[in-house]
Amino acid sequence: MRIRDQFLTAVGVTALCVNLTLPALAEVTEQDILNDAKTTGDVVTYGLGPQAQRFSPLKTLNRDNIKGLVPAYSFSFGGEKQRGQESQALVKDGVLYVTGSYSRMYAIDSRTGDKLWEYNARLPEGILPCCDVVNRGAALYKDKVYFGTLDAKLVALDQKTGKVVWRKDIDDFKAGYSYTAAPIIVKGKIITGVSGGEFGVIGRVEARDAETGEVVWKRPVIEGHMGELNGKPSTMTGQVNETWPGDTWKFGGGATWLGGTYDPESNLVYFGTGNPGPWNSALRPGDNKWTASRLAINPDNGEIVWGFQTTPHDGWDFDGVNEFVPFDMQKDGKTVKAGGTADRNGFFYVLDRTNGKFISATPFVNKINWAKGIDEKGRPIYDDAFRPGDPAKSEDGKKGKSVFAVPSFLGGKNWMPVAYSPDTKLFYVPSNEWGMDIWNEPVSYKKGAAYLGAGFTIKPVFEDHIGSLKAIDPASGKTVWEYKNKAPLWAGVLTTAGNLVFTGTPEGFLKAFDAKTGEEVWKFQVGTGVVASPITWEQDGEQWVGVAAGWGGAVPLWGGEVAKSTAGINQGGSFWAFKLPKTVATR
């Protein structure tokens, strides 16, 4: 929806703090990116590796000595733009790169917190961010750092100075397009999706030459739309009207707003796709491919290798955009090349990552009622009693039958990324227990206008908690342990070889848990809600942990009754760095 108080124009300058000595910077290579999950002295990718398992092999910090973890510094993002800090930081050669809300980027000294440079995008009037003014992170490659902006631009900055190397339009922000995800780098290409699913945009994935910013290929995710390769039409996605009637495919949604993962073994890029447009499912009979899906794409040419739709004919805004995390699973004495994903629809899916074959799906939140289960092919068994009614069949034609559906449209899990530990063989999922009253309304497409056709009110389903951090065994689908939080969880997760799991809470805590038991072993109050993804790295022989802090995101904007659980939380904008001093680590 249009968020009028967010349209302040940014400064639009790049500033270099010349009084500071910039560390010597080595170029980030393709090998650095591929090895990121194994190296401990840096974090050069969103997800701590292209597969985004968010697992660090560091084990200096453990449950026995974590009480010695102390703040090293807190870096303020400054100004009045203190809201919605969802960024995951990157660290390389003593420089930490972190994005801020309102499309800002900072380079700071990773040891001291001193600012090296700052870049502020010049945002125009009339931007249309759906779910707050967030930015989730950047990408590093060679001598550049890349990130996207709320007015749907992709920017390449010089790592040393913060000066613009190139700036490219992703799409027309006046039509509802924006960009909030962290890009990924694959084989010299920077690969991005698009945001704007609530405005009838067409979701797509595209690859650009990372040096020049020129488009290499584009892949729309909605059937009937033509792809592009090297500046020429390539192949159509699906077939016109195969699963979309009439002209509905022309404004079909499917925004790829969360970004992707990459599996070097299979040479596949995985992107999730968002909700179909409009939310009113009575207006678009059919499966509506490829919305609410996971797609595997060849990064060399942009062709779809396989697709798996988690919620065909989505009528609840469940999306399917949640990250697909490649991992190796032991089952029946065999190693399965699998991928795991916790869907907004409340089910945790395991697929064969090489071909998209369905392996399993199990509920990871309680009281799911929109589906009775998942069949042997991975398709939901719908309960039509919990699909919002067609307003055309109502007495006044203005409001369809309202239903109470679980989970809510904010999902069993929303954008906040999971972590997977190859040590414990568990996924750590930041989930929420809530439902919604939802009803359909008439709507027609208009460029730049909200394309919902639905109304809703979110409500908790338990009195004592909404948030729930769960440890899930992907082989069995069972929840091994659960940590309950009064307010919704909206932060990403990190896990380490030190048998620790980190995440943040809206109440302002960065917390650590025993990865095997779920016991809370440490917490620190940062003074504002934590809705970002923590990282850890090693420098000067010490293990560091860092996280951005600043309450915001979709919950206070869309949360209805559940937003009451976060009332009074201070907004903020800062990056906190913690370290375990050597004297503590050696005890």
By the 8 A CB rule, do 511 and 521 touch?
no
3-state secondary structure of 386: helix
3-state secondary structure of 443: coil
User: What per-residue confidence (pLDDT) applies to 573?
Assistant: 95
User: What per-residue confidence (pLDDT) applies to 587?
Assistant: 57
User: What per-residue confidence (pLDDT) applies to 25?
Assistant: 83
Task: Give 191's strand partners.
Answer: 184, 207
Number of domains in the chain: 1
User: What per-residue confidence (pLDDT) applies to 52?
Assistant: 98
Task: Residue 474: give the domain boundaries.
Answer: 4-333+340-354+362-554+562-585
Which helix H or strand E contains 557, and what residues bound it?
Answer: helix 554-558
Q: Per residue in 511-551, pLDDT tens?
A: 999 999 999 999 999 999 999 999 999 999 999 999 999 99
Side chain identity at 409, as an amino acid letter? F
CATH number at 572 reads 2.140.10.10
User: What per-residue confidence (pLDDT) applies to 559?
Assistant: 80
Give backbone dihedrals phi and psi of 97, rounded to 5 degrees, phi first: -110, 125
Taking the C-alpha atoms of residue 454 and residue 200, their distance in angstroms, rounded to an integer, is 14
User: What per-residue confidence (pLDDT) applies to 585?
Assistant: 62
User: What per-residue confidence (pLDDT) applies to 2?
Assistant: 35
Taking the C-alpha atoms of residue 320 and residue 287, their distance in angstroms, rounded to an integer, is 13
Residues 52-89 as b/e (b if ≥16 CB within 10 A, e otherwise) read: bbbbbbbebbbbebbeebeebbebebeeebbbbbbbbb
Taking the C-alpha atoms of residue 378 and residue 341, their distance in angstroms, rounded to an integer, is 13
How far from chain centre, in Å, is Cα 474? 20
Q: Give catalytic residues, as residue numbers.
A: 317
Ranges under pLDDT 50 in the chain: 1-19
